[in-house]
Amino acid sequence: YDVEVFGIIKSWLPVLHKFPGLRFGREICPSDYGQICARSKIVLGLNQNHENAYYFSNRLFLTLACRGFHLIRYVPGTEDLFQDGKHLAWFRSKQECLDKVDYYLEHEDERREIALNGHRKALKEYNHHEYWGRMMAKLKELNLLGDSQQPMVAEAKASHS
């Protein structure tokens, strides 16, 4: 495989020494992330912890929003938010990861369709407006917003008009 890794060089040094064929791209800033997604056939998503439900890095949502094809290590609860093979793909073992990399490298049209579906879902359901709207609705449902906050919101809107 032609693999290039990005991030903080210090954190990658042990891996780079162990696998001399692995290339270190460079340290990146957030504004570079979209370009990396655009030029990558597969963006591999790994976190330090894969056991805790819903433990996702923000890179999951950023990759989808940047229209990257994201192959992630399965995290419990992922299926509540996304469909494997529709919005992204996941694996549970090293062998399954390698098998899916081979498969999706050979099936470019399917890979692009999944990336497009993930992109659409991220923009529709995981943008800040939608997220905070759902958060405020849940807080209201749980009666965690006091009545005194409603006039404060209305006053703030009126003073900024």
For 66, the token pair is 């940047």
| Whole-structure pTM value | 0.76
Could you please report the per-residue DSSP string of 31-58? GGHHHHHHH-S-EEE--S--SSTT---H
For 113, the token pair is 């369709």
Query: Does residue 87 contact residue 117 with C-beta atoms inside 8 Å?
Result: yes
Query: Does residue 69 contact residue 42 with C-beta atoms inside 8 Å?
Result: yes
Please write the tens of the pLDDT for every residue from 31-88.
888 999 988 999 998 877 778 788 888 889 999 999 999 999 999 999 999 999 999 9
Please write the tens of the pLDDT for every residue from 120-151.
999 998 877 877 887 888 888 888 776 555 53
**What does the alpha-carbon distance between residue 25 and residue 40 come to, in Å, rounded to a whole number?**
12
